[in-house]
Amino acid sequence: MKNTTLCYIEKDGCYLMLHRIKKEHDVNRDKWIGIGGHAEFGESPEECISREIREETGLLPLKLSYRGIVTFVYGDEGEYMHLFTCDKFMGSLTDCDEGVLEWVPKEKFGEIDMWEGDYIFLDLIEDKTRPFFSLKLEYADGARLSRAVLDRNEIKLPYKSKLSKAPEVQKKAETKKDSTPPDTKAKKLDIYTDGSCRKNPGPGGWGAVLVYDGREMEISGGEADTTNNRMELTAVIEALGKLKAPCEVTLTTDSKYVCDGITKGWAAGWRKKGWKKGDGSPALNPDLWEKLLKLCEVHTVKFVWVKGHAGHPYNERCDEMAQAQSGKYL
């Protein structure tokens, strides 16, 4: 488990937040987060966060309070994040190459985009009666918080933060949700996909069948120079991209790469690490995984693996389309 640090610097009822908008393949892209980063070899948590504050903000922390430790689990990877607050510092803000620094009033936190788990530990550091805590956060399907445990006690999800929304806004949102007409609920459908590549890498193709209410739609495509895994991913992305509204999807594929990448949280973990694997090597096909993770945030997708070329009718049909498309580039 790697070690990271995070600090919320406070001034006049505001926290200094970093809006991560500058790096293209940043796992925190477009999110608002506190100040921090990865610990270097031999650094203590205090040494790490002091260095990160200086490097990211130009400020010199004069008083740090060690408030808690957050255990993150995403797929088969994880990290220990050491959480600090700081209310005494000196210096002037400088530009940060990872995003834009801004003092955000606490009452405005419901208007910015943060990770769901961040609201939990922000509420905890606001609680002055709790000097230290241990929080465990488990993420699934890219960005969905699936479990939260505070000092060995389960937290009910979805979490309602004191900072995220005023009570009257929450009540209004819940009332609106309860009054939603039945005909606007998410549609349920089945999707079957397959990808193919000759020589791998080489000419490739993909095929997909969407089945809803007894009706079928077939789509397919190909590329002159690609890989089998890219075609498998493309088939899923193109099929989900056909949906015009959030849906409940059962997606059947013969690709362990695609299925395990989502269901075991591998892709979410790679994205969180800046598209790096556990051993530090680059994760392949980050452009396609990014698209798929975003689609899985829009739709509720259940991935089902089947053995290829084993007589499954829709899998065989998708394979036929993929082979036909790859043949166009020979």
**Which member of 56, 77, 138, 319 is catalytic?**
319
Tokens read off for 74: 């995403």
Taking the CB of residue 72, how many other CB atoms lie within 10 A of it?
21
**Which member of 34, 195, 205, 222 is catalytic?**
195
| Cα distance between residue 274 and residue 27, in whole Å | 6
Nearest to 242, CA basis, from 216, 268, 222, 223: 216
| Residue 213 annotated among the catalytic residues of the structure | no
| Cα distance between residue 186 and residue 212, in whole Å | 12
Peptide bond into 201 cis (omega under 30): yes
| Residue 25 annotated among the catalytic residues of the structure | no
**Which member of 232, 261, 269, 290 is catalytic?**
232
Tokens read off for 322: 């993929």
Contact by Cβ (8 Å): 303, 249:
no
Q: What angle do CA 175, 178, 183 make, to 5 degrees?
A: 135
Classify residue 46 by its DSSP letter. H
Region of 64 (left: φ > 0; alpha: ψ -120 to 50; beta: rest) is beta
| Residue 36 annotated among the catalytic residues of the structure | no
| Residue 194 annotated among the catalytic residues of the structure | yes
Q: Checking DSSP bridges between strand 2-11 and strand 77-90, what pairing results, if any?
A: parallel
C-alpha separations of 296 from 73, 246, 263, 268, 269 in Å: 19, 10, 11, 11, 15
Tell me how far the alpha carbon of residue 173 is from its chain's centroid.
24
**Which member of 254, 261, 265, 290 is catalytic?**
254
**Which member of 10, 98, 138, 194 is catalytic?**
194
Catalytic residues: 194-195, 232, 254, 309, 319
